[in-house]
Structure 1
Amino acid sequence: MTFKKISVGLIVLALLTACTAGRQAFDDGQSLIQEGKIEEGLAELERALKENARSVEFKTYYLRQKELYIAHLLVKAGNARAAKQYSDAESAYRRVFKFDPSNQHANDGLEGIRNDRRRDEAMANAEKVLKAGKTDEAQAIARSVLAEDPRHDGALKMIKALEDKAATQKHASSGLGAAFKKPITLEFRDANLKAIFEVISRATQINFIFDRDVRADLKSTIFVKNTSIEEVINLLMVTNQLDKRVLNENTVLIYPNTPAKNKDYQELVVRAFYLANADVKQTLNMIKTLVKTRDVFIDEKLSMLVMKDTPEAIRLAEKLIVAQDRAEPEVMLEVEVLEVKRSRLLDLGIQYPNTFTALNIATQNTSSTTGGVIVNTSAQTQNVVTIDTLKNLTGGSIAISPNLQLNLKKEDGDVQTLANPRIRVKNKEKAKIHIGEKVPVITTTSTANVGVAESVSYLDVGLKLDVEPQVYLDNDVGIKVGLEVSSIVREIRGQSGSLTYQVGTRNAATVLRLKDGETQILAGRISDEDRQSASKIPGLGDLPLIGRLFSTHRDETTQTEIVLLITPRILRNITRLDAAQSEFSSGTEGSVGSASLSLRPPAAPAPVVTLQGQGAPAPMPPAAQPVTAPPQPVAAPLTLSMATVPSIGKGQEFNLVIQAASSGEVKSLGFDLVYDPLLMEVVRVTEAAFLKQGNAATEFIGNPVEGADRLTLNINRTTGGARGTGAVAVVVLRALAEPGAAQVSIENLKAADAAGKTLSVTPPAPATINVTP
């Protein structure tokens, strides 16, 4: 007996020890987690789980807290990565491995950080290359970064700035070196084409390589002055049905512009586009229609489009896809539905008995035979009237209904049914809201030789709202609204026992166009019932005044009104494309995406190379000789100067004061303030006092344009002119570049005096501002 007691005690002690094992560590872990010390708390929970591995409570709580903490670390790392705080992001990702060594999200995050750093280094190199004036190389680097990460902020900004600058200057980059930008003057008449290129090559150190099929007897006539070599070469190519391929910064291959030669020499590029919003099939149709590309492949699962074409066609397709691949508008619809039902009941008066009955209580004798025995029975019959009964009619034979009733009843009822749903809908998509219940309807079906079968169907009762919004560019929202409010009026049970319902419905359908945030109220009374009934004693109930004592009246009024309030709130809308994105050159029918054929003066002053060919020995006829106009009288000269700070910190604003000095009268003045939009931006501009002398009224035009490379200023006095010295305008700029030098210059100067004569203007020297960290 003693041995059994000891054994039982040991078993109980073991069970108690097993139940309490790890409890202290578990409680400590919970306390640490509540204090915000997550990692220390998880360590205690892990220790508790090791001490008591069979505890479901310990294991469940530990796994839940570990998952929550891993999710917290991943979100923290993602935010740090988005803010380019790569060290903090790496630290958070590596802390995830402490709790989950094989976490795929953390592995992908670390790989993404390595790629982000590599792309950021590439963009830093692109900035340096851009400052060195190598725009094409910088643009190529930015595009390669966008090919890997279409949302890279730095690359998007650089491409946008370069495209805006190109659109402003109306000059597309061709990938040629600085030698092709030099201005040149050519005068050749019926000269051999190869000889023209030979002369250009000797004068400019540009190498030309000709395909063997370029005809040796080609001749050309060209007279151009102060035009860049690149544009002259393009003009000679087009007019002689030739094409070129740039091999390096000073070497060009020239070949006939035929389909066979284009296949041999024309470079083709393969580019994959991943679409975020556009339908890949619609994009495919657009590319085939506008770019005429035949080699296109789409993957609907990945929303990817791959095309093979010339670099110019690829650039054109990229611009088209950027214009099309835009997020669809979305709108939040706030709807309030209110159904108001008012009822009034007045039941007042005296309800008198309205029937009486003449009764005949007669006895009928009947006999029956039961077991050979005749039994006589008597029974009373009611409402059996005979002639003999009428003879014996007495007061006991007449029955009057005793239900004399005094009605004093008045009821007032107000019922409101309110629904306030909010639903988010994409543009031109239908959305449905059903708030209510499904009422079962049982149907019984009887089939011969089979039996009776019951089926259940459900009837929707309540509020049904169908909406279809259309978001417009001007932040208006068109809405197709369909509203149905239904309720059960009464139940109807069939002869076979099946149950059906009489349902009352109220419907409304309309089309609205509202502004963002505007609330529209649709309301109206859809039911108005007024019932009056009276029960009177004939004659007495119709008497004036006292007739109310011999009658009862029931007045019942029911009104039902429905109110719908709808408010659209635009969450996202399509933004209008700027001018550079909505309109751009697409080349010609034979060369899609090629640069426009035009001649423009060189961007910067340079020595002009003047060449005269052997094919033009005779001078131009006198009729074609340019006539030099006599010089116009020039008024007193005007000198402009710029004053600004020598250095400024990155991101800081500084003033640039434009000053004028004139010995004569100045009535109007206009010029362009030229700067690099990647290095600085104009914040605001204000007119100074020079042209306001004598409190004269002036017309001042000078509005900065975001992303532009120049600010155009025009100032005009309404009367008279100004003279002497003074400040013309004050321009506030902000430094955007990394530490280095930024330059501001003035171009396109024009001025006039009070008589309208043109003034000669001396432009100021460019101002250089050093940007410091």
Structure 2
Amino acid sequence: MQSTRALPQALRASTLVLVAALGLLAAAAPSVALGQRTEQRSLELKVGELVTLSSAGVSTYSVGNEAVIDVKPLNGRMVIVGKQAGESSLLLIYGQDRQVNYAVTVLQPAKGNTSAASLAVPERVNIRLDLYYVEINRSSQLQVGIKWPSALGGQLNMIRGQVPLEPSGAATFDMSLQQILPTIDMLHATGWGRVLRHGTVVTTNGTQAEFDSGGEVYIASVAPTGQASFQTLTFGSRLSVTPNYDKDTGRVEVKVEGEFGDLFDTGADYPGKNRTTSRSTANLALGQAFAIGGVEAKSSTRSKRGLPGLGQIPILGVLFGSHGSEDLEKENIIIVVPTVVDTVPGRTAGILDEVLTSYASFSGDIEDAELSRALNAGAPKKRK
């Protein structure tokens, strides 16, 4: 009887365990279905090397060891730079249903059996950037008519000295009244100008480079307290570029900040400054000339001055007033041309020889001794 009772209890216990197990499986099944699908990938690079990955669809990312790699999202790409030898992970999350985990290994570049003087930083691609600034302008000015004074009056001048008395006992005084007469106002002036600035910068991939060529003008100013101070007015060309070259696509992403300024005479004690500034990021093909900025401006000014009422008479009003007009037209454009180059140490001496030869043979004609030609003659071979 005892064995008969014990058997149903064992069956009931087994049934409860089975039901509990099925419940756990049923509860776990939705979590597996809703879980993210993780892909495991590996990535290997050297210290100082730059690698890019597509970031299309990536909502967020996480870096395991920031001391080993540096990751920056940049216009649809993930730029990865090896900082020091070691291992790290890079997790890219695509929405809610997919994620990719990269096992990143950063290697120390092989130094080989060379002397300590020849041990250098890892080889990195050099980017040459040519920036051109071109400006053309034209001006026209016309002034015609009769220029009348804005106020009529005179100045009474007394002649001082000994005045003889007439027999009648009266004295004679001499005085003059200076009247301001109208003048004929006739002026026609035209002119044009052009400006060309060409700056060249060579830097390693992913490294910011700066170039500044110009000068400074110090302008004195006096405060209400009587204390004098100086203000600095800079002019010339200033260029800052950061290139990122993707060897897989053969394109270069260039971040450019440039400023071009020239001084002009204001007729006062201090000059004015024409300034053009551009901040842009562009994705270009190698050797492609791309305009990153420009402006086209036109201005017209009309003026009329003369005697009230009379100067407003049609046709005859020219005799009682002066009419003026001024037209200005200006266009400028900024063009950047990126090039990937291979450095060849043997050509360094050739560049120096070209520059020194141009310097020694210069006799006043800039066209015959242009330094930019020496730079282009010794420039490294372009990588296509």
Normalised by the length of structure 2, the TM-score is: 0.50
Whichever structure has more helix as a proportion of its residues is 1
Whichever structure has more strand as a proportion of its residues is 2
Structure with the larger RCO, 1 or 2 (CA within 8 Å, 6+ apart):
2
Could you say which structure has the larger radius of gyration? 1
Normalised by the length of structure 1, the TM-score is: 0.26
